Structure 1
Amino acid sequence: MTPAARLQAAAEILDQTLNGMPAEQALTRWARNSRYAGSKDRAAVRDIVFDALRCKRSFAHLGGAETGRGLILGALRAQGQDPAAQFTGTGHAPAPLTPAEAAYTPPPMPQTVALDCPEWLAPQLDASLAAQFAPALQALRQRAPVFLRVNTARISRDQAIALLAQDGIEATLHPLAPTALEVKTNPRAIQQSKAYLDGLVELQDAASQAVIAALPPVQGKTVLDYCAGGGGKALALAALGALVTAHDANPARMQDIPPRAKRAQASITLSNRPEGQFDLVLTDVPCSGSGSWRRSPAGKWALTPEGLEKLHLIQAHILDKAKTHMRHDGYLAYVTCSMLASENHDQITAFLGRNPDLELVKDRQFTPQDGGDGFYLALINTRKT
């Protein structure tokens, strides 16, 4: 495919996503119907689509329309390129610019548009992040770094770097967590690498790893991962020697845990109805995902005030349920991949107000300026008398 043909394919996929189809589904459908597209073409089109979704407001502003074609026009203008050079209409290139498109001069761009921030959420994010508001939102407009968690129960970070290099993958130590590597080259080769297939490394954001590192020592301790999902944090805890039980309200979300645990040589118990109490209860709750919008940009535009309020209720409910599984001298860890105070500090303040027997040990807000995604951790235990 020519570069222009890739742009046209991306514009058509973007039109489908703007009409409500998930981006992954639209990309998969296009790939199945476009057998002529090689792996490099598919990767390039995917990158164009996700870049446009991260920057939907600013690209639409520069392109003059919130359509697939408008977003591609805006993307080229954001890069300082003349769209007419690609919009030729020859072969599979986009149709030539209309007179209106060629003459369009974007008006001044408001800050929230330039930062690709949903307008209704801007005041909340600004209040939550203060001086980090603009830098954090700017970071969310870029592609996320690729991070690996080294299974340090079986291999050191330096050994993992050397092993990855044998498969042409360059990785470097990352300071945010003692298990973290940042992949510098050839990230698409990771899942076929020996280090990955042998369970010596896992894909996991550096801030997510830093959350685990900030927990109390877990070796030999019982841990309930109450919202386990695909099991990334459960695997990390097991690698530290924890006796992990994984639970999720939707058990189907945990279907990948057994094969991942087998690959990592880790032991994790799955439970649809966890019983008893644990030394540590980890609640990685459903949230807005505002800290990880560069990985899942569609979530930024799909979130609504009503949806956020529903998440607040779910989070509070999970905290109340998880508390019943916490030993008297144990810990409750509350985690989100959000940068909104209403999901983080405010949620914990309300929970402690309902439970005066508990106290906050520590909390931390991670932002992209720390090197990974935006995450929040609050660690709670029984109030000392």
Structure 2
Amino acid sequence: MELIHRNLAIGIHDALQETFFEKNKYADKVIERLLKAHRKWGSQDRAVVSEIFYNIIRWKRRLEYYMGESVKPDNVYKLIVAYCLYSKTNYKRFEEFEGIKIADITTKLKKGTVPTKSIEYSIPEWLAETLEKELGPIWEKEMKALNEQAPTVLRANSLKTSAKELISDLAVENVVAYTVKNYPDAVQLEEKKNVFLTTAFKDGLFEVQDATSQKIGYFLDVKEGQRVVDVCAGAGGKTLHLAALMGNKGQIIALDIYEWKLAELKRRAKRAGAHNIETRMISDNKVIKRLHETADRLLIDAPCSGLGVLKRNPDSKWKIDQAFIDRIKKEQQQIIQDYSKILKKGGKMVYATCSILPSENNEQVAEFLKNNPDYKLIKDEKIMPSQGYDGFYMALIERLA
């Protein structure tokens, strides 16, 4: 059993408070700041803090049931105690935190059952209803998979190395990894490590990118010398993969509405040795209109609910609601309608999301095709979380000549 000392519990407490009760604070950034602020913590302590922090976020609804109340700013320690008892973690000196009635929690824990599926899978009631409505009987299997810890997968940067060479380079730095079947550039870590400290990372030999996310680059079927536009590029994970698949030949125009994300993309591109990427901020509609009918390939990695990536972003389920999903679906339809005009006649585009809801995926594509008969679906694919990695949807669409 792991032992959580008081100073680690205080760190977890503060990080949870920030995540749950401060607007626009996301778990990945919160834990990153916490660990940077406590550089003296050993590697084992850092791993324990990170694991417990994410697991408490993941199981919040069930832990609240054991607590007998919803978590509030003044009872976050009780949430930590509930998790420690639930996971049989040896928590040192419970009595140091006042107001925690351990007997109340252990009574419910001993019963071993919970009254509803939403509590069992630790999700809001509305989300359980939405998943059941859209996915049918498989929703429980998928939600069970989404409550598992995500593996760490890297994408070997083929501009500089291969998957097998990367595995050898990482082994020198005591990072054990292996290849992933059917994903040519993917390398999976045997256990979580801070790979950003490695020489291999600093030399631009890899990016952290889930296996199914890597599939999108191949799905777009890019060729050397083409003009490719990535309209929702963000910080550029998929953009960099496209540059590698194109062997740095041709042109990639990376668009986003956030300048800071494009600045991060530039920094990553420099490290990766990707020289065929040009960034443009979408400041107004003119930016899009100037690109009409100019792209051989178009990537629309649309904003979405993110329900396919709850393994790595469990706090998302507490930050969104049905109204958000309804809004994002309207935004998706507007994006695919407006940005599809960038594609040349005879060109191909991919519409992709990291959602598992049909209403954000194939139903959006069907609606677009119904309203735009000069486009046709070539193929689509959905990858579900129960298959081992993130849940994604991708559709390859051609603009007819």
Same-fold call, TM > 0.5? yes
CA offsets per residue over residues 8-50 of structure 1, 9 Å max, x none?
5423432443323524565567668768755643443232111
Question: Aligned partners of 1:173 and 1:211: how far apart in 2?
Answer: 18
The secondary structure found in structure 2 opposite 1:247 is strand
The structure-2 alpha-carbon separation of the partners of 1:214 and 1:27, relative to structure 1 and needing over 3 Å to count, comes to closer
Question: Aligned partners of 2:32 and 2:159: how far apart in 1?
Answer: 37
Residue 120 (structure 1) aligned with residue 114 (structure 2): no
Find 1:223's aligned residue among 215, 228, 234. Answer: 228
Question: Aligned partners of 1:7 and 1:311: how far apart in 2?
Answer: 37
| Structure 2 equivalent of residue 62 of structure 1 | 66
Q: CA deviation at 1:86?
A: 3.9
The structure-2 alpha-carbon separation of the partners of 1:160 and 1:141, relative to structure 1 and needing over 3 Å to count, comes to same
Question: Aligned partners of 2:230 and 2:58: how far apart in 1?
Answer: 31
> Contact 1:176–1:207 at 8 Å: present in 2 too?
no
The secondary structure found in structure 2 opposite 1:122 is helix
Amino acid paired to 1:161 = I
Residue 198 (structure 1) aligned with residue 225 (structure 2): no
| Structure 2 equivalent of residue 360 of structure 1 | 377
| Structure 1 equivalent of residue 279 of structure 2 | 270
Question: Aligned partners of 2:41 and 2:193: how far apart in 1?
Answer: 20
Question: Aligned partners of 2:57 and 2:85: how far apart in 1?
Answer: 16
Question: Aligned partners of 1:243 and 1:207: how far apart in 2?
Answer: 24
| Structure 2 equivalent of residue 48 of structure 1 | 52
> Contact 1:169–1:186 at 8 Å: present in 2 too?
no
**How do residues 120-199 of structure 1 correspond to structure 2 at under 5 angstroms?**
120-185=126-191, 187-188=193-194, 190-199=195-204
Q: CA deviation at 1:103?
A: 4.4
> Contact 2:153–2:188 at 8 Å: present in 1 too?
yes
| Structure 1 equivalent of residue 395 of structure 2 | 378
Question: Aligned partners of 1:261 and 1:28: how far apart in 2?
Answer: 22
**How do residues 233-382 of structure 1 correspond to structure 2 at under 5 angstroms?**
233-241=238-246, 243-267=251-275, 268-272=277-281, 273=287, 275-276=290-291, 277-382=294-399
> Contact 1:63–1:74 at 8 Å: present in 2 too?
yes
The secondary structure found in structure 1 opposite 2:256 is coil
> Contact 1:176–1:210 at 8 Å: present in 2 too?
no
The secondary structure found in structure 1 opposite 2:207 is strand
The structure-2 alpha-carbon separation of the partners of 1:171 and 1:38, relative to structure 1 and needing over 3 Å to count, comes to closer
Question: Aligned partners of 1:230 and 1:292: how far apart in 2?
Answer: 17
Question: Aligned partners of 2:104 and 2:66: how far apart in 1?
Answer: 13
Question: Aligned partners of 1:173 and 1:335: how far apart in 2?
Answer: 25
Question: Aligned partners of 1:34 and 1:162: how far apart in 2?
Answer: 31
Question: Aligned partners of 1:30 and 1:203: how far apart in 2?
Answer: 21
Find 1:73's aligned residue among 50, 65, 81. Answer: 81
> Contact 1:227–1:284 at 8 Å: present in 2 too?
yes
CA offsets per residue over residues 58-90 of structure 1, 9 Å max, x none?
222233333223432332343245x7x645325
> Contact 1:364–1:378 at 8 Å: present in 2 too?
yes
Question: Aligned partners of 2:98 and 2:158: how far apart in 1?
Answer: 50
Residue 232 (structure 1) aligned with residue 249 (structure 2): no
Amino acid paired to 1:14 = L
| Structure 1 equivalent of residue 284 of structure 2 | none
Question: Aligned partners of 1:123 and 1:44: how far apart in 2?
Answer: 33
What is the TM-score with the length of structure 1 in the denominator? 0.89
Question: Aligned partners of 1:339 and 1:345: how far apart in 2?
Answer: 10
Question: Aligned partners of 1:31 and 1:239: how far apart in 2?
Answer: 32
Identity value in percent: 30
Question: Aligned partners of 1:283 and 1:13: how far apart in 2?
Answer: 34
Question: Aligned partners of 2:127 and 2:358: how far apart in 1?
Answer: 12
Q: Once structures 1 and 2 are overlaid, which stretch shifts more, 96-105 or 242-251? A: 96-105
Could you tell me which runs of 5 or more consecutive residues in structure 2 were left unpaired when the two chains were aligned: 282-286
The structure-2 alpha-carbon separation of the partners of 1:154 and 1:281, relative to structure 1 and needing over 3 Å to count, comes to same
CA offsets per residue over residues 161-201 of structure 1, 9 Å max, x none?
1011111111111124211111113521x112222111111
When the two chains are superposed, the root-mean-square deviation of aligned CA atoms in Å is 2.6
Amino acid paired to 1:251 = E
Q: CA deviation at 1:344?
A: 0.7
Q: Once structures 1 and 2 are overlaid, which stretch shifts more, 320-329 or 192-201? A: 192-201
Amino acid paired to 2:258 = N
Amino acid paired to 1:331 = K
Question: Aligned partners of 1:210 and 1:158: how far apart in 2?
Answer: 18
> Contact 1:86–1:94 at 8 Å: present in 2 too?
no
Amino acid paired to 1:49 = F
Q: Once structures 1 and 2 are overlaid, which stretch shifts more, 153-162 or 272-281? A: 272-281
Q: CA deviation at 1:123?
A: 2.9
> Contact 1:58–1:74 at 8 Å: present in 2 too?
no
